[in-house]
Amino acid sequence: MSSNRERQPSEKRAHLRTRMIHGLSTSQHWEYGHHVVPPMTSSATFRLDSVARGAQGFNDFAHDADESHDLVYIYDRLDEPTRGMLEENLASAEGGDSALCFSSGMAAISGIVQCLLQQGEGLISHHVVYGCTYSLFTNWLPRYGIGVDFTDMTNPDALRSSISPRTRVIYFETPVNPDMTLIDMEAVSDVVSDVNRKRDESQRIRVVVDNTFATPVCQRPLEFGVDVVCHSLTKGIGGFGTDIGGVVVMPNELRNRMLLYRKDFGGVLSPKAAWATLVYGLPSLATRMANYQKTAHHVAKYLSQHPKVEKVLYPGIESFPQFALAKKQMRDPKGRFSPGSMLYFILKDADPEGKKGSRFVDHVAQNAYSISLAVSLGQIKTLIECPFNMTHSSLPPEEKARHGVVPGGIRLSCGLEDWEDIVADLDEAMKII
């Protein structure tokens, strides 16, 4: 389907918030002449008017776009309109060439690392990452002959000395889930560019960043020299907690390989999940984030002044150990400081088993109105959890504890409720510990 709209001159100067609402003014995926809301397409297969057109579709797939004829749709798992429009808008939001959506954040992460790595090559990860990502790196990649090393990415010298001739991928989250450590993306990219200068193109190391916590509203890793960005769309971008999804934003040179991978491994985002993200999630992201952030700031201030709290890690308050780095790299596209919606805190006099933290969170789960005990994040509802024994249970206990993910540590994802209600619910739980 071709567009019947010429590219609007005003699109070029539009801000991120506006672009996430309107998308591209021309899209090969749909004609916008009669639509304000993009359609939810729902067709596993597409009708073709000739074998020649079918052959054309197969021939075009995962090859550079042939502008001489319209896009040919064949089958949902290859390409389809609603997901295609979402991909265009996500690439635009991150400032990347191209985006491909997957059935979950983990499908996106496993997709990009498998595309970039083969037997005998290696990945280096920051030592704390989301639990399932850690499990992917330790349980699965080694089975395929891919080496995985962990290092402290906050220390460029440690990173430099971990790089070996087999290294092809550097992987991290920033802020790190759940302890909110920030990795200096420019410093990592500088180390990697230095190493790459002495390597052939085929040996090049690529930096992959999971930008799920921050979202493109708070930081755009490609601006700092990062090569590939991935997200769990289930979180801030999806925003409403109704669908699971993931995306990889990459340079054009990787697109065809990733398309082939996705076709053959099969983990595509369903058009229905893509539609919700395209119509509700992405267009409301900037507005939701502005409100999440305001709340996170109030909650972080409340916690940092509470006598029963040992430590609050929120990049938006001055006591945050990497406040200067937060101010450097966590900015919205207009340059405003955007420290995000996530915080992590530890209660005073915590016991080694983390029972105090569990008691606090259990009290919230059973009594609070505005806060739910649930994993996931970035949604309109405020969510609380204990990462040590929940989202990060796959990491070895001593490894977690060494890097600040302690038993009883609490992760909070701020939603759209009135911040006073969230503070009141936390305050009630403080009274019982």
Q: Where are the beta strands (DSSP E) in 184-290?
A: 206-210, 228-232, 246-250
* Phi, then psi, of 116 in degrees rounded to 5: -90, -10
Q: Based on CB atoms, which residue is closest to ligand PLP, 24 or 274?
A: 274
- Binding to ligand PLP by residue 88, rule CB under 6 A? no
Q: Based on CB atoms, which residue is closest to ligand PLP, 104 or 181?
A: 104
Q: Based on CB atoms, which residue is closest to ligand PLP, 24 or 226?
A: 226
Q: Based on CB atoms, which residue is closest to ligand PLP, 229 or 244?
A: 244
- The rounded Cα 307 to chain-centroid distance in angstroms is 34
- Binding to ligand PLP by residue 212, rule CB under 6 A? yes
End-to-end CA distance of the chain: give it in Å, rounded: 61
Residues between 89 and 148 that touch ligand PLP (CB under 6 A) = 104-106, 130, 132
Residues 345, 308: contact at Cβ < 8 Å? no
For residue 207, the SS3 value is: strand
The closest of 272, 258, 243, 261 to 44, measured between CA atoms, is 272
- Binding to ligand PLP by residue 357, rule CB under 6 A? no
Tell me the per-residue interface mask from 226 to 265 with ligand PLP, x by CB under 6 A, - otherwise: ------x-x---------x-x-------------------
The closest of 171, 269, 168 to 229, measured between CA atoms, is 171
Q: Based on CB atoms, which residue is closest to ligand PLP, 283 or 387?
A: 387
Q: What is the DSSP letter of 174?
A: S
Residue nearest to ligand PLP (CB): 105
Could you tell me the smallest distance in angstroms from the CB atom of residue 210 to ligand PLP? 5
Could you tell me the smallest distance in angstroms from the CB atom of residue 189 to ligand PLP? 20
159: CB partners within 8 A, 6+ apart: 124, 151, 152, 153, 170, 188, 191
Could you tell me the smallest distance in angstroms from the CB atom of residue 412 to ligand PLP? 14
Contact residue for ligand PLP among 92, 177, 189, 358 (CB under 6 A): 177
Could you tell me the smallest distance in angstroms from the CB atom of residue 383 to ligand PLP? 11
What's the rounded Cα separation, in Å, for the pair 15 and 22? 11
Q: Based on CB atoms, which residue is closest to ligand PLP, 38 or 340?
A: 340
* Phi, then psi, of 209 in degrees rounded to 5: -120, 130
Residues between 151 and 170 that touch ligand PLP (CB under 6 A) = none
Both structure tokens of 56: 């054309």
Q: Based on CB atoms, which residue is closest to ligand PLP, 90 or 106?
A: 106
Q: What is the DSSP letter of 6?
A: P
- Binding to ligand PLP by residue 173, rule CB under 6 A? yes
Neighbour count for residue 283 (Cβ, 10 Å): 20
Q: Based on CB atoms, which residue is closest to ligand PLP, 98 or 234?
A: 234
Residues 313, 345: contact at Cβ < 8 Å? yes
Could you tell me the smallest distance in angstroms from the CB atom of residue 376 to ligand PLP? 6
What's the rounded Cα separation, in Å, for the pair 330 and 25? 28
Tallying the residues shown for the chain, one arrives at 433
Could you tell me the smallest distance in angstroms from the CB atom of residue 82 to ligand PLP? 18
- Binding to ligand PLP by residue 181, rule CB under 6 A? no
- The footprint of ligand PLP (CB under 6 A) covers 104-106, 130, 132, 173, 177, 210, 212, 232, 234, 244, 246
